[in-house]
Amino acid sequence: MAEIEIRNLCKKFGDFTAVQSSSFRIEDGEFFMLLGPSGCGKTTTLRMIAGLELPTSGEIRIGGEEVGQKPASQRDIAFVFQMFALYPHLNVRRNIAYPLVSQGMRRAQVREKVAEVARILGIEGMLDRPVGGLSGGDRQRVALGRAIVRDPKCFLMDEPLGALDAEFRERMAEELRALHDRMRATTVYVTHDQLEAMQMGDKIVVMNGGVVEQFGVPQDIYDKPATMFVAGFIGAPPMNFLPFHGTAEAGDTTVTLHHQALPVSALREPFDGDMVYGVRPEHVRLSDAGGYRGEVVATEYLGTTQIVTLRTPDGEIKARIPAGQAARMGETVGLEFNGATVTLFDRQTGRAIRSDLNEGVLAHG
Amino acid sequence: MAEVVLQDVTRRYGATLALDRLSMTIADGAFVVLLGPTGAGKTTTLRLISGLETPDGGDILMGGRSVLRDTPAQRDVAMVFQQYSLYPHMSVRDNLAFPLRSPVLRTPEDEITRKVAEVAAALRIEDKLGNKATELSGGEMQRVSIGRALVRDPQLFLMDEPLSSLDAKLRADLRVELKRIHAQLGATLLYVTHDQIEAMTMATEVGVLDEGRLVQFGTPREIYEDPVSLHVAARLGLPRINALPADLFAGAPVGAKTIGLRPEHMRQGEGRAAQVQRIEPLGDQTRLHLSLDGHDIVTLTDPHTDLEPGDSLAIEPRNALYFDASGARIV
């Protein structure tokens, strides 16, 4: 097992830059998420780590060794694809054993390894069945088994749950994570599902347009987004954005929107111009005292909470409030914001303005 | 628009009973969501109402009149499918106008123009009317196919998982939009899904289907707070309700086999000590995986919790749900 270090990694396909100077570090034993929308460069990055693509420039170190220009076969990694490719004419046992047999391992040892992996995955009972008749989940378990059996330095997974339905996906996600907790193998996992990344990952890299937008632990990425892209990509519903124009000084704890002073986390730098007030739905409260007002245009019941959509002078905003609290369509209500959690953004660049909230994260991010 | 009533509707495919005496009333102006896993009979119900299939027993009434002998066209229902099928060579405007230009309807051209503009505004695709269907994104295409159903003012809209092929953000937007359109047009909708968020957020009533039987019908809040069975309780709620042996905690009523605990049914810091296995941040909240006497329990806590794996956390039920050996709720 090993740590993986990515330094200034670039990949161009002709004129198209798929990955632009990315740097991040994956610690030994980490479950690491590469998150972003389609076309953001996450799969290209994974394929470069695997050796399926060679970088245009930059370094990839696995366990301290520079492997950027080495072929996949010399990197000792295992790749699990979204579409689990199994050998249809072989049974489960022979599918899992295949990598070991092709390495020339002794038969008794292969048997032992396959039995061990089957036990870890809970598929001992199906070793002699053909893979053709297996359910989607069992096929994915067999594909995982074939990756695990080799004891590689790290696992690379490209949306391994993407093809499964929602309920089953949740269960497999838990299984995968539990498996990782037992084996502690360095794992790099590509997904476009922000909730999957938050729930499963020890750390997350958020990519967009070939660029690393933010790198950190899940809760920091959620609470302290470095860019508007991250704030809008993470969370369901995502962060609310209220655009405004104004001037702010370092030390300010309020900004003025529509003649109302709204609280923000104390600023660490001045800013003058177009800004965006960013607040998460659970930090918006409906309150008669609130001077900033909005009209209720939709409510969505979610069991314990509800999402209320409000129209304000600066745009639509969503609030997550207890399901028992009244919110009537058409009613105009006051809004209060939890200032300590609010991020201001530079509207032009999308970058977060430094504040007490995000200072520690932005400094090394 | 009209009230639709299903009376003991039964449908068999060979030896399989796809629908077992389904009775349900879709009130005029209702937004009914049928919720259930694959194979529960959701799509079969839609196909029977639309007239694409005939029931083996029972009756289907629209506006008080049996429609079993009517053709699909006579029933005047509009269907929206998961896979949008637009005419690729036509513009968005012509795709939307197509149902109105049907020789049966003979709609005057100025009426068509007015209707198309109205629906395009409701769906917020006014600026795309001149585009070819192939120049649209997935979400826009699905909005056009919903629009093609809306232009017709049918008796009833039938929608079969229309959002399931869209990405999460777009699904969230269209959920709000569909609800708004429903309110705006006063339309009657029967909507099929296996997505509990869609059922909870959009429905005026939810019908929970299990193996061809309607096991509960009520408002989302009734289904969530007052489920008739463990099966229904497990259909709504994230994380899913914890089903545990009733004797794990003191105070179970007589005959209780299972205690059902949602996160809001657990007081933290009192009661029996559970071990924290895993902590999953969701952003706005944090999911706790606990273990108590070898049973897994999932609950929620503050996103900035100090708890760590290996810690002990006491939990105690409050207002829990209890179920008997057959899975029926004990009240």
Could you give phi then psi for residue B321, rounded to 5 degrees? -100, 140
Q: In chain B, how many domains are there?
A: 2
Find the helix packing angle between A92-102 and A136-148, rounded to 10°.
20
For residue B303, give the chain A residue with the closest CA. A219
Average pLDDT over residues A95-121: 92
H/E/C letters for each residue in chain B?
A: CCCEEEEEEEEEECCEEEEEEEEEEECCCCEEEEECCCCCCHHHHHHHHHCCCCCCEEEEEECCEECCCCCHHHHCEEEECCCCCCCCCCEHHHHHHHHHHCCCCCCCHHHHHHHHHHHHHHHCCHHHCCCEHHHCCHHHHHHHHHHHHHCCCCCEEEEECCCCCCCHHHHHHHHHHHHHHHHHHCCCEEEEECCHHHHHHHCCEEEEEECCEEEEEECHHHHHHCCCEHHHHHHCCCCCCEEEEHHHCCCCCCCCCEEEECHHHEEEEEEEEEEEEEEEECCCCEEEEEEECCEEEEEEECCCCCCCCCCEEEEEECCCEEECCCCEEEC
Judge contact between B230 and B59, C-beta under 8 A.
Answer: no
Average pLDDT over residues A317-344: 95
pLDDT at B324: 97
Judge contact between A340 and A357, C-beta under 8 A.
Answer: yes
CATH 2.40.50.140 for domain A228-363: yes
For residue B225, give the chain A residue with the closest CA. A303
Superfamily of A4-223 according to CATH: P-loop containing nucleotide triphosphate hydrolases (3.40.50.300)
pLDDT higher for A81 or B268? B268
Q: Are B11 and B45 contained in the same domain?
A: yes
CATH of residue B297:
2.40.50.140
Which H helix or E strand runs over A297?
strand A292-301
Q: Are B146 and B44 contained in the same domain?
A: yes
- Chain A residues with CB under 8 Å of B176 CB are 298, 300, 309
Which H helix or E strand runs over A177?
helix A166-183
Lowest model confidence (mean pLDDT) among A164-178, A268-282, B23-37 = A164-178
Q: Averaging pLDDT over each range in A14-28, A70-84, B118-132, which range is the top one?
A: A14-28
pLDDT at B1: 63
Put simply, the answer to whether B175 touches A165 (Cβ < 8 Å) is no
Domain that holds residue B277: 240-330
Task: Say what the pTM is.
Answer: 0.87
Partner residue opposite B280 with nearest CB, options A199, A281, A301:
A199
Q: Are B138 and B182 contained in the same domain?
A: yes
Q: Are B15 and B87 contained in the same domain?
A: yes
pLDDT at B180: 86
**CB distance from A231 to chain B under 8 Å?**
no
pLDDT less than 70: residues of chain B: 1
Q: How far is B144 from chain A (nearest CA, A)?
A: 22
Domain range summary for chain A, segments of one domain joined by +:
4-223, 228-363
Number of A/B CB contacts below 8 angstroms equals 75
Q: Which residue has the tokens 């479950």?
A: A31
- Chain B residues with CB under 8 Å of A219 CB are 281, 283, 286, 303-304
Q: Is this complex scored with an ipTM above 0.90?
A: no
Q: Determine the residue among A219, A221, A305, A311 to mutate to test chain B binding: the one whose Cβ has the most chain B Cβ atoms within 10 Å.
A: A219
Is the pLDDT at A364 greater than 70, yes or no? no
Put simply, the answer to whether A199 touches B282 (Cβ < 8 Å) is yes
Q: Are B259 and B173 contained in the same domain?
A: no
pLDDT bucket at A363, cuts 50 / 70 / 90: low
Which one of B234, B260, B280 terminates a domain? B234
Which one of B171, B202, B234 terminates a domain? B234
Q: Are B225 and B318 contained in the same domain?
A: no
pLDDT higher for A72 or B225? B225
Is the pLDDT at A226 greater than 70, yes or no? yes
Average pLDDT over residues A112-121: 90
Put simply, the answer to whether B280 touches A200 (Cβ < 8 Å) is yes
Q: Are B167 and B294 contained in the same domain?
A: no
Mean pLDDT for chain A overall: 92
Q: Are B206 and B143 contained in the same domain?
A: yes
Q: Are B212 and B249 contained in the same domain?
A: no
Partner residue opposite B176 with nearest CB, options A282, A304, A309:
A309
Q: Are B187 and B297 contained in the same domain?
A: no
pLDDT bucket at A171, cuts 50 / 70 / 90: confident
CATH of residue B88:
3.40.50.300
Which one of B184, B207, B234 terminates a domain? B234
Q: How far apart are the first and last CA of chain B?
A: 38
pLDDT at A83: 65
Judge contact between B4 and B45, C-beta under 8 A.
Answer: no
**CB distance from B306 to chain A under 8 Å?**
no
